[in-house]
Homo-oligomer: A and B are copies of this chain.
Amino acid sequence: MNATTSTPELFAKHKESLDKALEAVHKRTFYAHYPEPPSKRIYGETANDEGLAAYQAQIGNLLPLHQQHDATLVSDEASPYTQEALNLSYPISENPQDYIDRAQDALKSWRKVDVQSRAALLMESLDAIKERFFELAYATMHTTGQSFMMSFQASGPHALDRAIETIALALFEMNRFPTSTFEWVKPMGKFEVKMEKRYRFVPKGVGLAIGVSTFPVWNTVPGLYADLITGNPVIVKPHPLSIYPIAIVVQEIQNVLAKHGLDVHIAQLATDKAEAPITGAFTDSEAVKLIDFTGGNAYGDFIETLGGKGKTTFTEKAGVNSVILDSTDNLKKMLGNLGFSLSMYSGQMCTCPQNIFIPKDGIKVNGEQVSYDEVVAGLAKSMAGLATHPKAGPGILGAIQNPATAARVKEAASSLGKVLLEGPEVSNPEFPNARLAAPSLIEVAADQYEVFSKEVFGPIAMVIPTENTEESLALAKKLASEKGAISCTLHSTDEAVIERVEEEMAESATPVSTNFTGNFWVNQNAGFSDFHVTGGNPAGNASLTDPSFVTKRFTIVGSRVFIPEPPAEA
């Protein structure tokens, strides 16, 4: 008999939270497990100071992990705010195969831990990470260039809520069919055929979670926890420029595993440097069965081809997101919200709009026609105003993660079309050396499809004057189908237009966000409610965190034991 590891008391501790989470997943009404404000009232008077101190103590030092290692690596991480190296080091294995061997070994024990206990252990790890939300925020800020607020929310409560979604979903899916033995009785007229049946939920194998530089935690955590809850060990391969934040996550998972006497190699961190990448060793391995990837199209397309080689892949790549302006009853708020969306984290978000389609005759505002020029001028003004706002500006823009992005954007802007707004010079008093770039706005003609159909990552947006909303929609739909899209923004006061755009964009598997004029931006996807990416257009082949995001990670295997009829009475 093979023993199954079970920790019913630990599960009982988290059951109510998981029940609530699953209810939210199915109702899709608002729900949050971890509060998003980094407030003292919620997280404690000293939480921020302690987090900052922990961050500062880590700088220049080794981040210890429980996993076996034979060397350490000093990473190339550097703060986009100070442009100084963080001089962090991580334990590594020189031979990538060692990670795979240890993961394969860890699979044997992890799959024997029942799903309830896995859920409980993973919830324990999340609660431990919660205690480090502020350190995690500083780690995220100084690797990605996100503002402190975005860093706190994206790497902290928002990311962890997405992890809870996958845990709750997996609990549902893996208890959906009977896992304990039951009797199957088939009436055959004069007799019955009887069997004992049961189903096993078998993990697929070793998982690989490949991180992205701009959102090292938010984009990695869903796949990481989805692998773990379904019984698969994971190798986390962070982007070489943002390791620290996700290292905290792996560290806390390993702490929980160690505490409960489990193999710490169920979750490993495999750190590398850009000049000596190790990802290929993992993607080439037969043992790696699951790959989660967030990043650029070229490598993402390669990852997807591995689907033809027996691997299950979950990709989020780049898309070209559209905005369709048709009409509004609040021009100012529309321009304010849109300007904010374009400026947030200097456009370094996969959900950030790129192309703004506006009818050349302008749009209706409260029934009155407002000219194209006026709308465009208003948008440029909104963007410039936000970027240069002395108090809010630095928090909206954050810093530019990658030096290459900053350089590329400067050059690109004028080559694309007519410059309507050149990103104004901005400064961050707190971080005078911050790598900054305020968004530019460029006008491109509607027949310049080859220009605006390319993804331009970072602080550049394009305005495209169209014949009418019909043409705007046609272009947005074509872009989504051919180049992929993760978001689509619409402003319209016409119910028929809203329905039409939603229907047409749905055919290109793109969600539409309409009339956003308040404190919520198209860039944001809410945990437990908004699926992130649809998997239905070239922007990615997976949807965080729909049921397939979980069910593709295991196989259901039935077994049948025949029950003979009792011998006939003499």
Contact = CB atoms under 8 A, between A and B. Distances in A.
A58 interface: no
Interface string A532-560: 00111010010100111001100111111
A307 B519 CA distance: 40
Contacts of A178: 27-28
A514 B196 CA distance: 10
Interface string A171-184: 00100111000101
Interface in A284-320: 304-310
A445 interface: no
A187 interface: yes
A564 interface: yes
A305 B538 CA distance: 17
Interface residues of A, number: 83
A285 B380 CA distance: 43
A381 interface: no
A503 interface: yes
Contact of A187 (B30, B187, B513): B30
B308 A498 contact: no
Contact of A308 (B184, B185, B308): B308
A538 to B, nearest CB: 7
Interface stretch (A120-128, A197-205, A361-369): A197-205
Question: Chain copies in the assembly?
Answer: 2
A543 B556 CA distance: 8
A518 B193 contact: yes
Nearest to A492: B561
Nearest to A507: B202
A555 B536 contact: yes
Given A500-B2, A557-B511, A548 B546 contact: no
Contact of A530 (B511, B531, B558, B564): B558
Nearest to A491: B562
Contact of A526 (B176, B184, B538, B565): B184
A570 interface: no
A520 B538 CA distance: 47
Contacts of A541: 310
B534 A556 contact: yes
B530 A202 contact: no
A28 B199 contact: yes
Contacts of A561: 498, 513-515
A308 B309 CA distance: 9
A61 interface: no
A480 to B, nearest CB: 11
- Count chain B CB atoms within 10 A of each CB in A186, A306, A541, A552 and give the residue with the most: A186
A333 B187 CA distance: 20
A437 B564 CA distance: 31
A509 interface: yes
A313 to B, nearest CB: 9
Nearest to A173: B547
Contacts of A510: 557
A506 B202 contact: yes
Contacts of A87: none
Nearest to A202: B506
16 contacts: A1-B496, A2-B499, A28-B197, A29-B184, A184-B526, A200-B506, A202-B509, A202-B536, A304-B308, A516-B562, A518-B562, A518-B564, A534-B557, A546-B556, A547-B547, A547-B551
Interface of A: 1-2, 26-30, 37, 173, 176-178, 182, 184-189, 191, 193, 195, 197, 199-200, 202, 204, 304-310, 330, 333, 495-496, 498-500, 502-503, 505-507, 509-520, 526, 529-531, 534-536, 538, 541, 543, 546-548, 551-552, 555-562, 564-565
